[in-house]
Amino acid sequence: MKVMARNFKEAVLNRRSYYSISNESPISDAQIQEIVEFAVKHVPSAFNSQSTRVVILLGENHKKVWNITKETLRKIVPAEAFGSTETKIDNCFASGYGTLLFYEDQEVVEELQKAFPGYSENFPVWSQQTAGMHQFAIWTMLEDTGFGATLQHYNPLIDAEVAQTWGINPNWKLIAQMPFGKPTQAPGEKEFKPINERVLTFK
């Protein structure tokens, strides 16, 4: 499997948001699943909670989640503004090869809260941090194989219908959606704030 062909710093540097993607794949479906399973197994989590869950949607299932999103938004977005919303969903997300749904298992979080009441308020925060690490790791590995991806957050608007459609455990909380596909355009320019305002070193 062609994963991490670049060194780690190169892979991090090249991970970007791609909003123009096609439904082609540079790797097999089995390799996509291997990337996700590798990250879910090895990315760290607070107290080794292993609370992250990922649903891989390919083919018609990928198209279905974006149709659900579109029809959900159609009910709440003013008609005169919906055209741009529909274009974005169709051309930036649904046009891709697949979508990953990132969840956090709230049963795991609640069990830790009961077991360690002194840290109770922290476990939901740490769960979100765990989710973010999984998203970043998978995003970077997908990009390194030749995919382009973005991270979207149409939750909680789509949560109930998505859960019903794919029989998702009710204890799983939807955190983000990651559509991916073969890039058809380069990502936009990225601006950086002064690094000396973001990193402090004391010797």
- The SS3 assignment for 160 reads helix
Rounded mean pLDDT of 108-124?
98
CA proximity to 32, closest of 155, 148, 162, 138: 138
Q: CA-CA distance, 61 to 157, in Å (whole number)?
A: 18
Cβ atoms of 123 and 112 closer than 8 Å:
yes
Which residue type, as a one-letter code, is found at position 182?
K
Write the pLDDT tens digit of every residue in 27-65. 999 999 999 999 999 999 999 999 999 999 999 999 999
pLDDT at 28: 97
- pLDDT above 70 covers what percent of the chain? 98
CATH 3.60.10.10 fits 21-185, yes or no: no
Cβ atoms of 111 and 87 closer than 8 Å:
no
Write the pLDDT tens digit of every residue in 135-182. 999 999 999 999 999 999 999 999 999 999 999 999 999 999 999 999
Q: CA-CA distance, 170 to 34, in Å (whole number)?
A: 25
pLDDT category of residue 1 using cuts at 50, 70 and 90: very low
pLDDT at 4: 54
pLDDT at 179: 98
Which phi and psi angles does 2 have, rounded to 5°?
Answer: -85, 85
Domain segments of the chain: what residues? 21-185
Whole-model pTM?
A: 0.95
Over 80: is that where the pLDDT of 5 sits? Answer: no
Q: CA-CA distance, 156 to 38, in Å (whole number)?
A: 27
Beta bridge partners of 55: 101
Question: Six-digit token pair at 56?
Answer: 């891989």
pLDDT at 6: 77
Q: CA-CA distance, 15 to 111, in Å (whole number)?
A: 35
